[in-house]
Amino acid sequence: MFSPARPIPADFEKNVRMGDAVAYCTKCKHHKPPRTHHCKVCGICVMRMDHHCPILQSCVHHHNYKFYLLYLTVPCCLGIFVAIWLRGTFWELLLVLFGGGELSFVDNAIFGAYTNALVIAVGVGWLAREHLFLARYNRSSIEQTVLESTDFQDGDKAELENICTAFGVGPRLPHRLAVLQRVVDGIYWLLPLNGNVPDDSINYNSRLVDPQSIALG
């Protein structure tokens, strides 16, 4: 998740033909693949840049987006689990406080843990929901906020394929076990592994009426 953005492959610059509608970065002095943006903080062009995270001190991009999604969804799920599991105990502690009683050291720890879990479930959960929505439709935060008024549309893949683009796919099973492939993929989504994320962040499928509309940053 803390991995820096990878440089644009040298082959891309060599394969740019005259007349191609390809964005050019005046700061880095090279052509940019589609959905690439220049990060002012990092000072480089980032492939499929989502945003620069001030907490991580790094860009969220194509090659670490899965880790960022797990960074949001796992604490959110744990927060929801704790909030549901301890809801009865939390209510009892509230009744004690409202009745003028005092909490023991252990009760104070439980009260604080529940409060933290509730804050994480709500706060981080909202952010996780936003990014899972973007992953579902193959969008980045930049595209969601900046390109809504242009001719940009979602990638021309099914929603499940979009999720696989973000989370990756598991090892390919033999043909006779193909019915279990989605199960393996689902397990792989939960693992902090990024080796099988499809696409090279250059050959993205997207319906762009005007390719120049993505020449931002």
Tell me the C-alpha distance between 44 and 28, whole Å. 7
Of 53, 76, 77, 164, which residue is the catalytic one?
Answer: 53
Joined tokens for residue 52: 């620069």
Query: What is the number of other CB atoms lying within 10 angstroms of the CB of residue 58?
Result: 20
Question: What is the chain's length?
Answer: 217
* 25 flagged as catalytic: no
CA distances from 3 to 49, 60, 153, 194 (A): 13, 9, 29, 12
Handedness of CA 164, 168, 172, 173 (dihedral sign): negative
Number of H helices, E strands in the chain: 7, 6
For residue 175, give the DSSP letter: G
10 Å Cβ neighbour count for 45? 22
Residue 110, both tokens: 């439980």
Residue that is written with structure tokens 């990756």 in the block: 168
Structure tokens at 61: 């991009």
Residues marked as catalytic: 53
